[in-house]
Amino acid sequence: MEGEQKQFLSDLPKDFSPFSETNIKVKEEDPFLFYPLKDNSSADADLSPGCSYELLNLKLSPFFETNSEVIVEKPFLFDTPKVNLSEDANSITDADPGYASFDLTSFFHGNSEVKKRTPSLLDLLRAYLSLPLPKSEVKEENIFLEGFPRDNSSDNGDLEFLNAETESQCCYKGKKEKLSFINSTRDEASSDASSAIKPNLSTITNSTTDTLTEDKNVESEATSEGPGVDLQLQPASIQSPHIGSRWRIHWSNTDGGVLRRQMTDVERMVLRPNHEGEQCPVCGDRVSGYHYGLLTCESCKGFFKRTVQNKKQYQCSADANCHVDRTCRKRCPSCRFQKCLTMGMKMEAVRADRMRGGRNKFGSFYKRDRAHRLQRNAMRVTVIPSSGVTSQPQTFYTPADHQVSSSTTDQNTHIHYYDQTKVKTEFIKTEYDAHLQSPTLSSSTNQQTLLNTTNEDHLIRFPTTYPLAEVKQEPFDYSEHHFVHHPLLEYQGYTSTANYAPMMPIPTVTTAQSVVTSTSSSTTGRVSEPTRTSPVLPLCPAPTEKTVDHFYNSNMAEMCKTLPDDSQIIRIFNAAKGMKGEAHSFAVTVADENLKVIVDWAKNNQLFGKLQLDDQMNLLQTSWSTIHLVDITNAMIHGNLSPTYKITTGEDVSVGAVALLGYRLYVNTWNDIVNRLRNMGFTKFDYCAFRFLALFDQSMDHFQAVSAARSRVLQAWAEVRCSFVSGFMSIFEEIRRLSHDAVRYLWSLQSNFPELWASLRPDTSLVLEMIKTSATRPTDVTSTVPHISVPLQQTTYAPVVYMTS
């Protein structure tokens, strides 16, 4: 080490460490710490060998403060040349939890002061989130996978996962190396982590040392074992490559490597490429790309091409309304072609000169369509104003949803297209068809216009930066209801056995409207005549063997595995009821405890983990209360909680009061929700969906990962629940709103009942700190917290008008 280490340690007193001193002198212009990132090779910096470093501004550290004013705008990352680090284990020391730091004391010759400071609870949460997943005792299933040497350029290498539960197929990129993966499930990690709220030198030093000495040629995503905050871990039963499981990669060369494993369903939610998983609007088969103006499968592409090129004319032997799907698409080419056209495939895109390659004139429209899709994805859950029962559908369900807008008359191309009129078709051109094919009337544009007029648009344009900001935006007047609309469910219509009224505009019976009709018992909704099968609300097929099988293989089942154990919430209630304090205190204790469970659940979620730390914090601050309420609601529905809990004051506190953080006004409303859900047959799947939807809160949809996750959750859920989803969704929205009300209520105590607030020990409650932080942010909820004169019973809140069916 001596020769190689050069200056960075050489001219320092051996016992000098920034972290063993209370005050450290730092150069004023250089109040930074260098934190090593994951091992990485090559580069020519000069700090510690073979590592990547992040230059961290001490001012941003929750654990240190400095009087320097220097601010780093962006994280500064760099690498150093590789050297065997194991001999140098002694020079490793620790810093903040979540970072294992090399002792870079040479950088602290300065005149700024660096002091330790006491981190807030949120700081600790942050640090906890930034920790690698808690390492645990290994179930040493040796699994042989094959990997590939790390390609420095591909940061996404570890997002490419492969196959299989325990045995995996191989995928090579670069030269082949046999890698051995040890799958370690997490379980007991909390025991040695429990005490380590503060940075703990020895723990980190030891563990890091162990890592380095034991695993000389091991690279691990997660070898740096941090001490962890005292957030309880749940036992997890994770057997296969899976969210939450930990992997250690051993390989025989020292080039580094990237794990490839099977993508889990949930991971697939955000990671899967664009059209994977999309269904061909003609036959429902897997989409392979844009073909002739539409995202279709390979077979419909070929079919369309052959038909147009060979000027085929088909005749339907039935009534020209045959059902077309993957299994029967060969049966009636006439109806298949008709459906191709109806859905928006363009004959003009078939080249008359048969020239290969290149791009056609639709290129830019494909691009635009992609953008629209992206946007639509981001707005998967579309809020539709429904004040009064509208007589006009808010959106039209049109095949145009699948087609690319075509507004071109551009003939400036050497590619000659078939003129639509040259191929005689048997189709009667209806107004609708004309609209579809019209070069001037873009139906996508139409759709866009409609979307632009709905009030979800601000969600995209004005991303919610602060947690609970969304709460602020929510009108207090609950009489103005918002309903939720899922294009996804519309999409299902395409694969259902629904009949397509040919060439007829089909007014949308959106799920939003179905919400209206199912919850308001309104009969004025414009549900189409009963004879027509709605493409929007497909009938659930009777559960055949196949569907049952599919059910268990669905995303939903996979996602359910990540849910906390049912007993968790019971345990929390039982533990909390013995604590000193009145009802609010009981509720806050329960919330605090459950928050730990929630944090761990979120932290172990792959998608959540992909978010930036700040975004994770924001998301948690926004969604914890809804998740909490969902948890208690679920437990209540299934009779896991007793209706009331006797606390130390002798008072009987209803579960509802606890669930609503002490806000008793809406306990009956909540009880009603519990009953309704129970009657609707609320299952584990529904609970799972609720919990994920709560985590990936709608107000955070401006993060693509969040909106994508929501979409997938909805899709998976819809596969299980079909059209019932809409009914559940409206109740979910009620829960979400209630949870936000509860948070606002709790925060209102701070100003209206300071003694009560103080008795809740806001300095030790993460829940209260979260609420406080959210509320005291500049543009936040504070100003909108209504004056609440009397806690528990009275409020100036506008009463929520909950619909009952």
CA gap 531, 496 in Å, rounded: 16
366 sits near DNA (criterion: CB under 7 A)? yes
Nearer to DNA, 102 or 290 (CB): 290
CA gap 597, 429 in Å, rounded: 59
Stretch that binds DNA, among 27-35, 238-246, 358-366, 717-725 (CB under 7 A): 358-366
CB of 261 to DNA, least distance (A): 22
357 sits near DNA (criterion: CB under 7 A)? yes
Could you give the 3-state DSSP secondary structure of residue 758? helix
Among 8, 251, 362, 483, binds DNA (CB under 7 A): 362
298 sits near DNA (criterion: CB under 7 A)? yes
174 sits near DNA (criterion: CB under 7 A)? no
Q: What is the DSSP string of 385-404?
A: E-SS--SS-SSEE-GGGGB-
Could you give the 3-state DSSP secondary structure of residue 720? helix
Nearer to DNA, 19 or 366 (CB): 366
Q: What residues pair up with 295 in beta bridges, in sequence order? A: 290
153 sits near DNA (criterion: CB under 7 A)? no
CB of 274 to DNA, least distance (A): 8
Nearer to DNA, 189 or 349 (CB): 349
Q: Let me know: does 51 contact 36? Beta carbons within 8 Å.
A: yes
157 sits near DNA (criterion: CB under 7 A)? no
429 sits near DNA (criterion: CB under 7 A)? no
Contacts of residue 461, Cβ cutoff 8 Å, sequence gap at least 6: none
CB of 340 to DNA, least distance (A): 11
Nearer to DNA, 280 or 583 (CB): 280
CB of 402 to DNA, least distance (A): 14
Torsion over CA: 673, 674, 679, 682 (sign): positive
Which residue is listed with tokens 């950088």? 107
CB of 163 to DNA, least distance (A): 16
303 sits near DNA (criterion: CB under 7 A)? yes
Stretch that binds DNA, among 136-144, 176-184, 363-371, 760-768 (CB under 7 A): 363-371
Nearer to DNA, 329 or 402 (CB): 329
CB of 667 to DNA, least distance (A): 53
- The radius of gyration computed from the CA coordinates of the chain, to the nearest angstrom, equals 30
311 sits near DNA (criterion: CB under 7 A)? no
598-617 residues in contact with DNA (CB under 7 A) are none
Q: Let me know: does 107 contact 32? Beta carbons within 8 Å.
A: yes
Q: Is 422 exposed, middle or buried (0-12, 13-18, 19+ CB in 10 A)?
A: exposed
Among 93, 183, 234, 360, binds DNA (CB under 7 A): 360
Q: What is the DSSP string of 741-756?
A: HHHHHHHHHHHH-HHH
CB of 260 to DNA, least distance (A): 18
Q: Is 603 exposed, middle or buried (0-12, 13-18, 19+ CB in 10 A)?
A: buried
312-341 residues in contact with DNA (CB under 7 A) are 312, 329-330, 333
**The two three-digit tokens of residue 230, written as one number:** 């005292």
Total binding residues toward DNA, as defined by CB under 7 A: 35
Nearer to DNA, 184 or 403 (CB): 403
Stretch that binds DNA, among 215-223, 309-317, 479-487, 675-683 (CB under 7 A): 309-317
**The two three-digit tokens of residue 62, written as one number:** 């929750």
Could you give the 3-state DSSP secondary structure of residue 662? coil
CB of 318 to DNA, least distance (A): 16
CB of 474 to DNA, least distance (A): 38
Which CA distances in Å does 563 have to 237, 486, 594?
Answer: 11, 24, 13
CB of 312 to DNA, least distance (A): 6
User: Which of 61, 259, 45 is closest to 162 using CA atoms?
Assistant: 259
Nearer to DNA, 418 or 551 (CB): 418
**The two three-digit tokens of residue 667, written as one number:** 């306990």
Mask for 182-201, x = binds DNA (CB under 7 A): --------------------
CB of 172 to DNA, least distance (A): 17
657-716 residues in contact with DNA (CB under 7 A) are none
Nearer to DNA, 420 or 794 (CB): 420
Nearer to DNA, 176 or 359 (CB): 359
3-class SS letters over 41-83: CCCCCCCCCCEEEEEEEHHHCCCEEECCCCCCCCCEEEECCCC
Stretch that binds DNA, among 91-99, 239-247, 349-357, 614-622 (CB under 7 A): 349-357
302 sits near DNA (criterion: CB under 7 A)? yes
Stretch that binds DNA, among 94-102, 240-248, 305-313, 491-499 (CB under 7 A): 305-313
Among 356, 424, 461, 787, binds DNA (CB under 7 A): 356
Nearer to DNA, 421 or 804 (CB): 421
Stretch that binds DNA, among 360-368, 451-459, 571-579, 747-755 (CB under 7 A): 360-368
Q: What does residue 381 show for φ and ψ, rounded to 5 degrees? A: -100, 105
**The two three-digit tokens of residue 232, written as one number:** 């309880």
Stretch that binds DNA, among 55-63, 167-175, 304-312, 648-656 (CB under 7 A): 304-312
Stretch that binds DNA, among 31-39, 184-192, 343-351, 486-494 (CB under 7 A): 343-351
3-state percent breakdown (helix, strand, coil) of the chain, nearest 5:
40, 10, 45
CA gap 791, 798 in Å, rounded: 15
Stretch that binds DNA, among 353-361, 451-459, 470-478, 720-728 (CB under 7 A): 353-361
364 sits near DNA (criterion: CB under 7 A)? yes
Q: Let me know: does 28 contact 112? Beta carbons within 8 Å.
A: yes
787 sits near DNA (criterion: CB under 7 A)? no
Q: What residues pair up with 653 in beta bridges, in sequence order? A: 645
253-292 residues in contact with DNA (CB under 7 A) are 285, 289-292
Among 25, 27, 272, 351, binds DNA (CB under 7 A): 351
Nearer to DNA, 112 or 342 (CB): 342
Among 363, 543, 754, 799, binds DNA (CB under 7 A): 363
Nearer to DNA, 92 or 282 (CB): 282
Which residue is listed with tokens 């730990």? 596
At residue 692, what is the residue type? F
Q: Tell me, what DSSP letter sits at residue 286?
A: B
Mask for 461-480, x = binds DNA (CB under 7 A): --------------------
Q: Which long-range contacts (CB under 8 A, 24 or more apart) does 277-283 make?
A: 279/491, 279/494, 279/495, 281/343, 281/344, 281/399, 281/402, 281/494, 282/324, 282/329, 282/336, 282/339, 282/340, 282/343, 282/345, 283/324, 283/325, 283/326, 283/329, 283/336
Q: Let me know: does 135 contact 192? Beta carbons within 8 Å.
A: no
Nearer to DNA, 5 or 163 (CB): 163
Q: Let me know: does 534 contact 509? Beta carbons within 8 Å.
A: yes
CA 695 from centroid of its chain's CA atoms = 7
CB of 234 to DNA, least distance (A): 40
Among 309, 445, 446, 671, binds DNA (CB under 7 A): 309
Among 305, 550, 577, 684, binds DNA (CB under 7 A): 305
Q: Let me know: does 613 contact 130? Beta carbons within 8 Å.
A: yes
CA gap 224, 220 in Å, rounded: 8
Q: Which residues bind DNA (CB under 7 A)?
A: 285, 289-293, 297-300, 302-303, 305-306, 309-310, 312, 329-330, 333, 349-351, 354-360, 362-364, 366, 413
